[in-house]
Amino acid sequence: MERKKMTLGLFTGSIDKLTAAGVIISGAVADDYQVDVYVLLQGARVFKKEVGDDATQLPMAENPQLKEEFEASLKELKVKTWLEFFRTAKELSEVKIHVCGLAGKIWGADKLSDFVDIVDDIVGINSYITSAQEADIHLFI
Amino acid sequence: MTSEELKSVTANQIVDARGTACPGPLLAAKKAIGDIESGDIMEVLSSDEGTKHDIPKWCEKMEHEFLGIVEEDSYSRLFLKKA
């Protein structure tokens, strides 16, 4: 069976949308999808080593006044952090995480070693466009 | 298989995902399926309502045989045979 492909343009740096992205990727890897994540602008900041899943540094895109309640619910429901979702997905299927070079530079990160260990490489925008063009599913969050 | 028939089935692997929310049970099943052989039976324990839809659909796509569900008081037992 030929492996299907999903491409995710991950613009967000918000904890709620990152969690949603983690859940969606989990569904894709359960189905053995090959997933390519292209980390853009705000997303590049959270993949930096000093941010990651440190919730104190992550805003909430919608209902920001309920962030504390949101985090408490995730914990009670034993939901992984957004970064744990991505890490688990890489263990279960072929998941590559590519950071946009410009986005990294905007946040002062221009070397692979500036990012958390699950980032595979730093790429240009054409890689994203090509991947999206070839994917069975293309999402932008 | 009927619920009564499934109650007498002994699974080769039991995945206890009770207490976790979606996609926890599905991820747990995906992780564990690699540890059993083709034809083996896996039982997934889940207290998440969505799992009762997710696992049968996942089996269909992955070509595993979904055998059925046994409902317990506070959780479900989902049985499948690995392709």
Q: What is the pTM of this model?
A: 0.90
Domain count, chain A: 1
Question: Shortest Cα distance from B4 to chain A (angstroms)?
Answer: 29
Question: Shortest Cα distance from A23 to chain B (angstroms)?
Answer: 6
Q: Does ipTM come in above 0.95? A: no
Strands B65-71 and B76-81: antiparallel
Does the annotation count B59 as an active-site position?
no
- Percent of chain A at pLDDT > 90 equals 96
**Domains of chain B from N-terminus onward:** 3-76 (3.30.110.40)
What's the pLDDT score for residue A1? 65
Domain carrying residue A42: 5-140
Work out the burial of residue A28: count CB atoms within 10 Å of its CB; fewer than 13 is exposed, 13-18 middle, 19 or more buried.
buried
* pLDDT tens-digit series, residues A74-133: 999 999 999 999 999 999 999 999 999 999 999 999 999 999 999 999 999 999 999 999
Catalytic residue among B1, B9, B22, B36: B22
CATH number for A35: 3.40.1260.10
CB pair distance less than 8 Å for A31 and B26 = no
